[in-house]
Amino acid sequence: NAGVTQTPKFQVLKTGQSMTLQCAQDMNHNSMYWYRQDPGMGLRLIYYSASEGTTDKGEVPNGYNVSRLNKREFSLRLESAAPSQTSVYFCASSEARTGRNYGYTFGSGTRLTVV
Amino acid sequence: KNEVEQSPQNLTAQEGEFITINCSYSVGISALHWLQQHPGGGIVSLFMLSSGKKKHGRLIATINIQEKHSSLHITASHPRDSAVYICAFTSLDFGNEKLTFGTGTRLTIIP
């Protein structure tokens, strides 16, 4: 089925370890996003990519890096994980164009625990 | 300061009841989104609207741009409707590329 695929679904890291969350979409969307979801808070934007080759910081970028490898793939890297990064991470994509709005498609989420 | 507020935060109802979830926002928007998240699950987009009303099956979404208010209605509610419903918007200031999310309404439908 077409959509957004995230891996892994679950991960436990020790403080200081690094890891990369992978995201791929097969809908030929231009824009891709990484969000984190914490209890009692709305989803918050970490980074986004409006097109292949471009990335921009969102609301909570500290401690993360991203790579828009090609139009399909947008990865999120934690270089030195901290307990504050324990969260559920969602990747999303949209065919956003100036002056118009399109819907968003979300991945199934990655539940990350940093101990 | 929350730019989008949802009410109620939690809602429990009997199967078959008519459900209303409200969303108020404080900035100019280009579109309002309703999303559904089942426990432990991913997020599914239900509606995207910038005016009027949309209907899909038993779900109806309305928006009043002047009052900066949107509602999600569920008719003939069913236990499978139990989920968190999230309101979100794309704002005019930021263009069409980023969403601002509410904290969600947790709906539980009892058989």
A105 vs chain B: nearest CA distance in angstroms?
A: 7
Cα-to-chain-centroid distance, residue B105? 8
The arithmetic mean of pLDDT across residues A87-97, rounded, is 88
Query: Which of B42, B99, B102 lies at the smallest CB-CB distance from A108?
Result: B42
Separation CA A48–CA B73 (nearest Å): 31
Interchain CB distance below 8 Å, A42 and B31: no
**CB-nearest partner of A103 from B45, B50, B86:** B45
Compare CB distances from B103 to A40, A98, A99 and report the shortest one's residue. Answer: A40
In the predicted structure, residue B80 carries a pLDDT above the cut 60: yes
B107 membership: H or E segment, kind and range: strand B105-110
Answer yes or no: is pLDDT of B96 > 60. Answer: no
Q: List chain B residues with CB under 8 Å of A108.
A: 41-42
Q: To the nearest whole percent, how much of chain A has pLDDT over 90?
A: 74
Question: What six digits make up the tokens of B75?
Answer: 């008719």
pLDDT score, position B29: 86
Q: At CB < 8 A and 24+ separation, what contacts does A44-52 make?
A: A44/B101, A45/B98, A45/B99, A46/A76, A46/A89, A47/A76, A48/B97, A48/B98, A49/A74, A50/A96, A50/B97
Specify the pLDDT at position A50: 86
Please tell me the predicted confidence (pLDDT) of residue A99.
Answer: 47
CA distance A91 to chain B (A): 10
pLDDT value, residue A100: 54
**Which of B5-14, B52-61, B86-95 shows the lowest mean pLDDT across its residues?**
B86-95
**Chain B residues whose beta carbon lies within 8 Å of the beta carbon of residue A104:** 33, 45, 99
User: How much is the pLDDT for A1?
Assistant: 60
Q: From start to end of A1-115, where are the E strands? A: 4-7, 10-13, 19-25, 31-37, 44-49, 56-57, 64-68, 74-78, 87-94, 104-106, 110-114
pLDDT above 70: residue A3:
yes
Specify the pLDDT at position A42.
87
Partner-chain contact B98 A48, CB within 8 Å: yes
What is the b/e burial string over B56-83, where b = at least 16 CB atoms within 10 angstroms of the residue's CB?
eeebbbbbeeeebebbbbbeebeeebbb
What is the band of B24 on the pLDDT scale with cuts at 50, 70, 90? very high
pLDDT tens for A34-81 read: 999 998 888 999 999 988 889 999 999 999 999 998 999 999 999 999
